[in-house]
Amino acid sequence: MSLGHALLASPKLFELILLLISVSAGVFGAILGLGGGVIIVPALTLIFGIHIRYAIGASIVSVIATSSGAAATYVRDRITNIRVAMVLEVATVIGALFGASISTRIDPSHLYGLFAAMLIVSAWLMYRKKPKGLRLAVAEKGSWAEKLRLNSSYPDFQLKKEVSYGVTNVPLGFVLMIGAGVISGLLGVGSGALKVPAMDTAMSLPIKVSSATSNFMIGVTAAASAGPSYMRGNIVPFLAAPVALGVLLGSYLGAKIMMRLRNKRIRSLFIVVLLLVSLEMALRAFGIEMEMGR
């Protein structure tokens, strides 16, 4: 009998282990702006042998929990740029609706391959941007950022000072978010892995602001998809309860940790995660699903 099946036969032990994994997922999700699905889905499928659709259902719950735990802290401490989030969320929703409407007409394997390539490019761009110090864009007069009042500042607890920043390339960021939404709608995956690089590299937001703003946005997107997923039976309380509790706690801790990390360290960690997710997408492109534990 496999490890996964043995643990499932002991519900209390299974829930305890899943709770601990979910705390870790919440910490990483809050720091990187990805939600907890990057850890939850592989853990449920590879370790416990849970079917992928139930793992994705638990992932949706983890994203909502991450956003609930981290976003409140980031908004309170003025890390999140709410105006940027609202503008870009419109683009993401437009893209997601379009992606969902054409999802049955396109071969998913090609899309997984495209997503993997996009993540690798994003990782490379973020690596090239790795700064020796904190370099921020200057607010441009007459720009879309100025018209929409997107330029802002945030308190950097690690640097112990208020950091002002300008937002650049708003139209490009809007287009990239439409693309992220399309990918999300087509593949049923979270688009945090594309949102953070887009805000970081194209729009010149500080990495901490990009992560915090992504956390705010992914909660809205996941909440919209939670209802249909529950109606289809993909969200199982047996999985969702320990995941939600653990991720909520972990995301609260992760938010506290993130604000005291160096920007360079957050960027390096995000690049590693992007490469790991791109590997998973590449495997799916070749028909290798993350269900080996089943």
Domain positions in the chain: 3-285
- Is the confidence at residue 1, as pLDDT, over 80? no
Measured CA to CA, the distance from residue 93 to residue 263 in angstroms comes to 29
Report yes or no: 122 and 194 within 8 Å, Cβ to Cβ.
yes
Please check the confidence at residue 55 and state whether its pLDDT lies above 90.
Answer: no
pLDDT band at 50 (very low <50, low <70, confident <90, very high): confident
> What value does the mean pLDDT take over residues 182-202?
79
**Range from 6-10, 15-19, 71-75 carrying the lowest mean pLDDT:** 6-10
What integer is the mean pLDDT of 200-229?
84
Tell me the C-alpha distance between 45 and 289, whole Å: 9
Whether residue 103 is predicted with pLDDT greater than 70 in this model: the reply is no
Phi and psi angles of residue 243, each rounded to the nearest 5 degrees, phi first = -65, -50
Q: What is the mean pLDDT of the chain?
A: 81
H helix or E strand, kind and range, residue 183 = helix 170-187
Tell me the chain's radius of gyration from C-alpha atoms: 18
Does the pLDDT value for residue 231 go beyond 90?
Answer: no
Q: What share of the chain is helix, strand, coil (3-state, %, to 5)?
A: 70, 5, 25
Measured between alpha carbons, how far is 179 from 282 in angstroms, rounded to an integer?
19
More confident: 137 or 51: 51
Please tell me the predicted confidence (pLDDT) of residue 291.
Answer: 44
pLDDT band at 4 (very low <50, low <70, confident <90, very high): very low
CB 39 within 8 A of CB 20: no
User: Cβ distance 253 to 22 under 8 Å?
Assistant: no
**Looking at residue 292, what is its pLDDT?**
38
Write down the pLDDT at residue 284: 77
Percentage of the chain with pLDDT > 70?
87
Give residue 140's pLDDT: 59
Average pLDDT over residues 32-55: 80
* Residue 209 pLDDT exceeds 60: yes
